[in-house]
Amino acid sequence: MRTQTGPRVNRAIRAPEVRLIDEDGNQLGVFPLQQALELAQSRDLDLVEVAANAVPPVCKLVDFGRYKYEQTKREREAKRHQHITEMKELRLRPKTSPHDLEVQAKKAREFLEEGHKVRLLVRFRGREAQHPDIARGQIDQIARAVADIGYIEQGPAMEGRAMFAVLARGSGKPQSGSRAGQPGAARAARPEPAATASEPASE
């Protein structure tokens, strides 16, 4: 009898003939079903249908208990290697100390190494919003600290009374003409100081 999730085994196989593979992986050829069942019984093994849609179906001589165990083990290993990317958030303030910035940079690195993205959020209070260059500098400092494994995928940009940027794992290859995604994007976003009257004009 065939289960919903497993292959047909022994008497549950319906095809009149099958293409047979032995326990060592050798192709034995096409056999009548009854002969294949007798061969499996003589070797104290099971006849397992491993390719039901083939013509004729492909069956293998195996120990079905061991076969199921190894199949379950492979599925478990596959699930272990599946990774769900999450968005981790690190919050900063314009007055965050250099030491705390280093701590946050280490956290950002850990998250990136685990395959997650990191959202840096610098919140402003009162007149702090008048100095966005401080927030850009903090974001840039963290981005440079993880530049060997991550890059700025989005931002820096204002979001209400906060500035944010998103770090992602990788080297970052932005489209032509776009600065977002470069590790030094935060630094490049800073406005250049205007020339003073005492500076000579360029020819």
Look up residue 9 and give its DSSP letter: B
Q: Among 119, 117, 122, which Cα is nearest to 160's?
A: 122
Q: What digits encode the pLDDT tens for the residues 122-175?
A: 999 988 888 899 999 999 999 999 999 999 999 899 988 999 999 999 876 543
Mean pLDDT of 188-200: 40
Give the number of other Cβ atoms within 10 Å of residue 159's Cβ. Answer: 12
Measured distance CA(200)–CA(202) in Å, rounded: 6
Give CA angle at 103 (100, 105), nearest 5°: 110
Give the whole-angstrom CA distance, residue 169 versus residue 151. Answer: 7
Burial of 17 (0-12, 13-18, 19+ CB in 10 A): middle
Q: For the chain, list the domains and their CATH numbers.
A: 10-77 (3.10.20.80), 87-188 (3.30.110.10)
pLDDT of amino acid 67: 87
Region of 115 please: left (phi>0), alpha (psi -120 to 50) or beta.
left
How many angstroms separate the CA atoms of 39 and 131, rounded?
82
Query: pTM for the whole thing?
Result: 0.47
Please compute, for residue 78, the number of CA atoms within 13 A of its CA located in the half-sphere on the CB side: 6
The rounded mean pLDDT for the chain is 82
Give residue 121's pLDDT: 94
Cα atoms found within 13 Å of the Cα of residue 8, Cβ hemisphere only: 16
Supply 97's token pair.
């100390």
Q: What would the pLDDT profile of 107-127 be if each residue is shown by its tens digit?
A: 999 999 988 999 999 999 988
